[in-house]
Amino acid sequence: MNADPKSSCSETTEGEPTATMTPMPVWLVALMVSLLFLSAWYFDLYGGWFESKVFSPYVSVADVQRFQPKTGGIADTVARGKKLFADNCAVCHMETGVGNPANGCPPLIDSEWVKSPTATRIAMLISKGLSGPITVNGKVYNTGVMLAVGDSLPGSEAEKAEKIAAIATYVRFQFGKITVETKTAQVQAVRESIKDRTANFTEEELLKAEP
Ligand code: HEC
């Protein structure tokens, strides 16, 4: 009736767990290696290799501004030309470009001399001035004389050309709706071809130049 104490004791001893080395499954090793490979690959692609431009790109506001794209384009030249126009042309042609018929100053708004395909004629007349009759929008103006405003601009020849180019860009943009910038090099070439001239231009002469 009583169980044999010896046998039950020995059964318990046999059931005791034992610590043995179990080899790691191959699939787990493969998974870890591929994860390591993938993360190294990802870091290589997107990590920037701890490059300071990536991890601490800017140290100040000035630094940020240095990397902003420059405004550039026609807008800067138009703004510069607007100021030069106010200083050198508006006294006769008015800031609004309507001209002043009382003084024989023709309008610039929609003028064919302003809107011409190239800026050659306007560069010529700004440089050396204009006298004699001139037809603008079908109306003849013959009582005023435009002085050689361009030649008398302050600065070296290169500076004059740059200023005339900015004025021409502004006038053509503002009063002729032309969005092409007049380049300094173009004005320099025009001025080089007329550099020995002292007299004002006439309408007849301007019409012989490229439109
Ligand atoms: C002293 C007054 C005066 C100033 C300053 C002056 N102009 Fe004129 N401008 C005239 C007169 C007058 C005429 C017409 C001349 C003529 O009848 O032959 C004229 C003609 C013109 C024309 C051709 C006709 C037309 O209306 O399209 C243009 C373009 C022009 N001027 C642009 C300018 C620009 C740009 C400036 C400044 C760089 C300027 N002028 C400065 C008086 C002036």
Q: In the prediction, which pLDDT does 11 show?
A: 54
Report the nearest-CA residue for atom 39 of ligand 1.
89
Q: List, by residue range, all CATH 1.10.760.10 domains of the chain.
A: 73-208
Is the pLDDT at 146 greater than 70? The verdict is yes
The larger pLDDT score, comparing residue 15 to residue 188, is at 188
Report the nearest-CA residue for atom 32 of ligand 1.
126
Report the nearest-CA residue for atom 38 of ligand 1.
89
Q: In the prediction, which pLDDT does 1 show?
A: 46
Q: In the prediction, which pLDDT does 12 show?
A: 57
Contact 11, 4 (CB under 8 A): no
- State the pTM of this model: 0.73
Q: In the prediction, which pLDDT does 72 show?
A: 63
When pLDDT is cut at 50, 70 and 90, the band that residue 13 belongs to is low
172 lines ligand 1 (CB under 6 A): no
Q: In the prediction, which pLDDT does 3 show?
A: 47
| Centroid of ligand 1 to alpha carbon of 107 (angstroms) | 8
Tens-place pLDDT, residues 69-121: 766 679 999 999 999 999 999 999 999 999 998 889 999 999 999 999 999 99
Report the nearest-CA residue for atom 42 of ligand 1.
146
CATH of 73-208, one of 1.10.510.10, 1.10.340.30, 1.10.760.10, 3.90.1150.10: 1.10.760.10
142 lines ligand 1 (CB under 6 A): yes
- Quick one: average pLDDT of 33-54? 86
